[in-house]
Amino acid sequence: MKSLHPHPLFWAGLLSCVALAITALNLGPMISIIGWRAAFSAPSPSDSLAVLVHYSLLPRLAMACVCGFALGLSGMLFQHVLRNPLASPSTLGVEAGAQLALALAMLWFPALLGWSRDATTALGGFAAMALVFAAAWRLKFQPVAIILSGLVVGLYCTAIVTLLTLMNDHYLSGLFIWGGGSLNQNDWRQVQGLFPKVVACSLVAFMLARQLSVLTLGDTAQSLGIKLQFTRAGVLFVAVALTAFTVSAVGVIGFLGLAAPAIARATGARRIKSRMIVSPLIGSLLLVIIDQVLQIYAAKTSVHLPTGAITALIGVPVLLIVILRRGRSMLAAADGKAALPASRLPLRVIASIALLLLVVASIAVFVGRDVDGAWISQGGATLESLLPWRGPRLVAAMSAGLMLALAGSLLQRLTGNSMASPEVLGVSAGTAFGQLCILFIIAEPTYGHRMFGGFSGAAIVLTVLFAMSRKVRSGNQFLIIGVSLGALLSALISVILASGDPRAVSLISWMAGSTYGISRQIAWISLAFAVSGLAAVTLFLRPLQQFALGDISAHSHGVDVAKFRVMILGFAALLTAIATLVVGPLSFVGLMAPHMAQRLGLTRGLAHLLGSALLGALLMAIADFIGRTIYFPWQLPTGLVATLLGGPVFALLLIRTGRRSMQH
């Protein structure tokens, strides 16, 4: 078989023929009119076609080459150093981190951008990667755990960028520049700026290539000494820098850094040196092909699709293929739980959380702002008229928080992965996707229509998950498929946003976690599900505890592992679907609350589940109150406020636990 495989460069050659043909199709007619010389020398300003070719189309082509090269190389370096075929700037959160840094700088520290745009994005990229590594440390760099952490960090950063744009831009303009990755060029300056940086990074990478090949030998190479650790760090640094430079130049080109090395591997490029050449080449060619096709499409239809979002639509399926084909070997049993001290008085801790919840809830009911914006505590007839607004959203938010936290702690126990959470189960993505379809099918969708769409989307994802449950051997694989669905959805949404379609606006505010459209019925339904979910979870308690000791142990205790796993997944997914309809897909309460409960000493069994659930409700109650009052009369989406409140706490927890397990 092997001898039948042509050389990897043959495939690269074939791909470049395709790229050349499409480029010729797009640019050829124009260049044949103005001639080659006019295209490559500064044209006379009177010849507008020559100006167009020289100052826009050719630089754009060059930009696609350079960015594709940089991302292809960056992805390949990540994959090699981490020995993980799923690693890439997108799946490690580096791209999204860089994008968030850019957005924050644009809004609050414009001086930083004036000083160095590259340094700003690099800072964001490194921060995101540090966070991912801190989380992965606990799990001993188990490949899937790293990717899961990376995708979650990426989604988190994207969520914040969405909120920022939501609050700062009336007509959503500018959003797609950050999210969509636009390769439009006005002259050669940007290419001239980016090119030397990419060349420098590539040279460093090639110089390190010899030591890199040692890395292939695996962990035994570690005995070769400390120098290797420096090499690893150096290569990671180069990879992040490459990503940061491209983000600062053109925005997020989603998942190209994943797809290019994967394709390079599929063409048979196995050794480090050939992969180092073939991956960036394929990255370049792929981006050129996609971008030229989109240009032709735009010329034909006047519809401009953002290149970066389209690459994501193509790249995410590549991620899925890699998982399903090579997934099994990467799914070694997770075993990285750092032992946390258990509280001796779990009842007292739970009682305090419950009391705090009560206090926050009463504040949220009685305190508000008057017409003139003054803080007042309302009562009597005024409160009676306001309660129909305040009550449902508070009840719904708390119920959603409770359900998400419950689902999160179930999933974390089931998979033994501390980054597992309902937001990454894919059910949220399905819910969002269902709503999106409704928005485009029905001209004037009511809340009921949207509920229906959301439920159908969630149900479809659930069915798919169950159908796959026979093949999938670990809960982690479920999760990573779920996150991929989430990434696919956010790419799709950036494409729609780029079109400036006003219909997408209401979807964004729901995605941001707005509890704005909650009616009394929905609030009561959510509460009913939350309470019965809490009651039902006690049934799972015993088998779940066996599960925490590992599959084999659970089996020997008479638990039907496969059946039980499906049951818990289904239960968690149902809770997630209901909660997501209320509070959007990006609150991350389900991720954060179980960790917080553990830190408070509620580490085991019922105490942990109960503590997580109450903390989830508490987090949402606080978020609801703050979101409703702090920026009056504007209301901030509860889900995102919860993310912003809990995020820093969560990051701190991860880093502290990471450090502790390092000392072990």
Partner 1 sequence: MTKMRRRNFLFGSAAFAATLRPVPGRAAAPRVVALDYGLAQTLIELGVPPVGLIDTQGWAEWPIEPPLPASVVNIGSSFEVNMELLQLLKPDLIISTPYLEWVRPQLEQIAPVKSFPIHALGSSPYPHIIAATRELGRMLGRQGEAEALIDRTDNELQVAKASTRHLGKLAVITFIDARNIRVYGPGGIFQDVFDRLELENAWPHPTNEWGFGDTSMAGLVDIGDSRLFYMDPVPPDLLATLADSPLWQSMPFVKNGHAQRMASVLMFGTLPAASRFARLLTEAAA
The residues binding partner 1 (CB under 8 A) are 42-43, 45-46, 48-49, 51-52, 55-57, 166, 170, 173-174, 176-177, 182, 184-187, 302, 304, 368-371, 382, 385-386, 388-390, 443-447, 449-450, 498-503, 505-506, 508-509, 514, 516-517, 519, 628, 632-635, 637
Measured from the CB of residue 492, what is the shortest distance to partner 1 in angstroms? 18
Report the alpha-carbon distance of residue 544 to residue 349 in Å, rounded: 22
Nearer to partner 1, 375 or 447 (CB): 447
Which residues are bridge partners to 376 per DSSP?
368
385 Cβ neighbours under 8 A, 6+ residues apart: none
Measured from the CB of residue 272, what is the shortest distance to partner 1 in angstroms? 37
Nearer to partner 1, 7 or 189 (CB): 189
**Helices 589-599 and 605-629, interaxial angle, to 10°?**
120
Report the alpha-carbon distance of residue 551 to residue 479 in Å, rounded: 18
Nearer to partner 1, 502 or 648 (CB): 502
- Rounded alpha-carbon distances, angstroms, from residue 621 to 26, 367, 392, 527: 55, 13, 12, 13
Nearer to partner 1, 55 or 141 (CB): 55
Report the alpha-carbon distance of residue 23 to residue 27 in Å, rounded: 6
Do 369 and 553 contact (CB within 8 A), yes or no?
no
Nearer to partner 1, 54 or 138 (CB): 54
Measured from the CB of residue 50, what is the shortest distance to partner 1 in angstroms? 9
Nearer to partner 1, 186 or 556 (CB): 186
- Burial-class residue 502 by CB neighbours within 10 Å (0-12, 13-18, 19+): exposed
> Six-digit token pair at 390?
């305040």
Report the alpha-carbon distance of residue 408 to residue 27 in Å, rounded: 52
Nearer to partner 1, 51 or 363 (CB): 51
Which residue, 480, 601, 591, is CA-closest to 151?
480
Do 581 and 396 contact (CB within 8 A), yes or no?
no
Measured from the CB of residue 548, what is the shortest distance to partner 1 in angstroms? 41
Measured from the CB of residue 26, what is the shortest distance to partner 1 in angstroms? 13
509 Cβ neighbours under 8 A, 6+ residues apart: 166, 516, 637
Please state whether the peptide bond connecting residue 317 to the residue before it is cis, i.e. omega within 30 degrees of 0: no
Nearer to partner 1, 10 or 375 (CB): 375
Measured from the CB of residue 187, what is the shortest distance to partner 1 in angstroms? 5
Measured from the CB of residue 174, what is the shortest distance to partner 1 in angstroms? 6
Sign of CA dihedral 572, 650, 152, 393: positive
**How far does Cα 624 stand from its chain's mean position?**
24
Please state whether beta strands 367-369 and 375-377 pair in parallel, antiparallel, or not at all (unpaired). Answer: antiparallel
Nearer to partner 1, 16 or 506 (CB): 506
